[in-house]
DNA sequence: ACCTGAACACCGTTCAAGT
DNA sequence: ACCTGAACACCGTTCAAGT
């Protein structure tokens, strides 16, 4: 069965799978469901991603690269603008589909992942922390690189926790905002 | 096949299942693996917990009650003693088995849960927040009940995030401690 | 009351077979 | 190069059958 020339099974698989993992997790991801949604057979997905481990690695790798591409321009902007854009990145996941951050979701399921995918999870956190360090340095000019990194890490981890728990409690983006407000008020996010 | 009089399949199932979910998640939990570890057939587990949904609900419900039982005595102690005991609760999960908090793990997998289990997830957070409110009130005597609750929620969510991410990064209890240190230094955890 | 074997429709994976 | 049908051992679930 021929497909349209502009239809790429590999790209379609990654798009659908990323959202599916964000909604239900990696362990709940089904090659058959994926294939049905795309309009191919599950064996076709295996042709492009031989095992779920390959798909997992590719998903997180692309997620990391998308973050870089999308957030690098904000390193030229002010601290406030950059942080606002960063928080929006988390907030939009609540819109309608109630997605979890892919990095946080697969962190929960790390025991199901092989080393290549685990390395991408580490790259994910490293990418966020590096970006946050650069942004934090704009405001906290007297902090050491180590202190900036600790602070960046604490912000990332706290935001992932807020996302994880708000979603688990059935909350929405307003509930997420409320927790972020408390992070701000106590001094973590500033 | 007769079992020892003091052997309770229901209790054994919950004990083994709780640790298994903390390690690998609810979706990765297998009735057959569970049964094999306990020494019965998977149909036997279904006799006690007809569906995984029933087991999920029971696991979180017991987790909530265990927290109450274990942490209520600390409400009589000082702020510092109580917080130290609370942090230890998170830290011990890293010892050897690298477990995630059951409440946080099942929050990630909330899309796989039915309303009864989801309600227990809400009870889980409510229990922690209520306990933290009481402890925080010892130190912050001028804060309103609402402000105490916001702060309690922020602490719980941030600690769950630290646990989630440190585990995802392949970190240990020392890495967790380091993040907690930053939470303290920035003013969230105080 | 408690446990089990066997069946059902699912799952990821493999592979020979198609185009 | 890309796709698929069919098979394999897994999964949760059901239920008649055992004790």
**Which sign does the torsion angle of CA A99, A105, A108, A113 carry?**
positive
B4, pLDDT greater than 90: no
**pLDDT-derived band of residue A96, with 50, 70 and 90 as boundaries?**
confident
Contact state of A157 with B158 under an 8 Å Cβ cutoff: yes
- Among B residues 145-164, those touching chain A with beta carbons less than 8 Å apart: 150-151, 153-154, 156-164
Portion of chain A with pLDDT greater than 70, in percent: 97
Alpha helices in chain A (DSSP H): 9-24, 31-38, 42-48, 52-71, 79-91, 102-108, 115-139, 145-168, 173-186
Contact B89, B95 (CB under 8 A): no
Q: Report chain B residues whose CB lies below 8 A from the CB of A164.
A: 104, 107-108, 157, 160-161, 164
Residue B5's pLDDT is what? 60
Which residue from A150, A161, A185 is facing B157, i.e. has the nearest CB?
A161
Instruction: State the SS3 of B101-140.
Output: CHHHHHHHCHHHCCHHHHHHHHHHHHHHHHHHHHHHHHHC
Residue of A nearest to B111 (CA): A24
Contact state of B160 with A156 under an 8 Å Cβ cutoff: no
**pLDDT-derived band of residue A2, with 50, 70 and 90 as boundaries?**
low
Look at A37 and B96; give whichever has higher pLDDT: A37
Distances, alpha carbon A145 to alpha carbons A71, A183, B37, in Å: 21, 22, 48
Contact B83, B142 (CB under 8 A): no
Q: What would the mean pLDDT of A78-102 be, rounded to a whole number?
A: 96
Task: Of B134, B114, B105, give the one whose Cα is nearest residue B26.
Answer: B105
Q: How many CB atoms lie within 10 A of CB A137?
A: 14
Contact B117, B49 (CB under 8 A): no
Substitution target from B186, B187, B189 for chain A, most A beta carbons within 10 A: B186
**Which sign does the torsion angle of CA A38, A44, A46, A48 carry?**
negative
User: Residues A106-138: pLDDT tens digits?
Assistant: 999 999 999 999 999 999 999 999 999 999 999
Report CA Rg, chain B: 18
Does the pTM exceed 0.85?
Answer: yes
Phi and psi at A54, nearest 5°, equal -65, -40
User: Residues B115-141: pLDDT tens digits?
Assistant: 999 999 999 999 999 999 999 999 999
A83, pLDDT greater than 70: yes
Q: Chain B, 7-46: which CBs lie within 7 Å of strand D?
A: 29-33, 42-43, 46
Alpha-carbon span B69 to A67, nearest angstrom: 43
Distances, alpha carbon B62 to alpha carbons A19, A24, A175, B11, B159, in Å: 32, 24, 27, 11, 21
Q: What would the mean pLDDT of A73-93 be, rounded to a whole number?
A: 97
| End-to-end Cα, chain B, rounded Å | 55
Q: A40 is written with which tokens? A: 């191919």
Residue B2's pLDDT is what? 53
Distances, alpha carbon B133 to alpha carbons A114, A154, B141, in Å: 40, 22, 11
Task: Of A107, A108, A66, A59, give the one whose Cα is nearest residue A89.
Answer: A66
User: Residues B146-172: pLDDT tens digits?
Assistant: 999 999 999 999 999 999 999 999 999
Contact B20, B31 (CB under 8 A): no
B3, pLDDT greater than 80: no
The secondary structure element, H or E, covering residue B37 is: helix B31-38
A52 CA vs D1 C1’ separation (Å): 22
Q: What would the mean pLDDT of A38-67 be, rounded to a whole number?
A: 98
User: Residues B33-76: pLDDT tens digits?
Assistant: 999 999 999 999 999 999 999 999 999 999 999 999 999 999 99
Task: Of B88, B87, B89, give the one whose Cα is nearest residue B66.
Answer: B89
Residue B96's pLDDT is what? 86
Alpha-carbon span B93 to B12, nearest angstrom: 20
């Amino acid at each position: 069965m021929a497909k349209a020339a502009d239809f790429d099974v590999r790209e379609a698989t990654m798009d659908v799978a990323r959202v599916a993992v964000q909604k239900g997790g990696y362990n709940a991801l089904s090659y058959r469901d994926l294939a049905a949604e795309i309009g191919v057979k599950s064996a076709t997905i295996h042709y492009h991603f031989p095992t779920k481990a390959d798909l997992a690695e590719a998903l997180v790798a692309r997620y990391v690269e998308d973050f870089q591409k999308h957030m690098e321009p904000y390193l030229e902007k002010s601290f406030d603008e950059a942080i606002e854009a960063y928080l929006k990145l988390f907030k939009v996941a609540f819109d309608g589909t109630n997605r979890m951050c892919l990095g946080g979701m697969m962190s929960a399921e790390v025991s199901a992942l092989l080393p290549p995918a685990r390395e991408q999870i580490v790259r994910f956190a490293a990418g966020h922390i590096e970006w946050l360090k650069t942004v934090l340095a704009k405001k906290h000019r007297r902090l050491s690189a180590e202190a900036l990194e600790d602070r960046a890490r604490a912000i990332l981890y706290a935001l992932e926790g807020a996302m994880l728990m708000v979603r688990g409690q059935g909350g929405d983006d307003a509930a997420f905002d409320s927790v972020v407000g408390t992070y701000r008020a106590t001094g973590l996010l500033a």
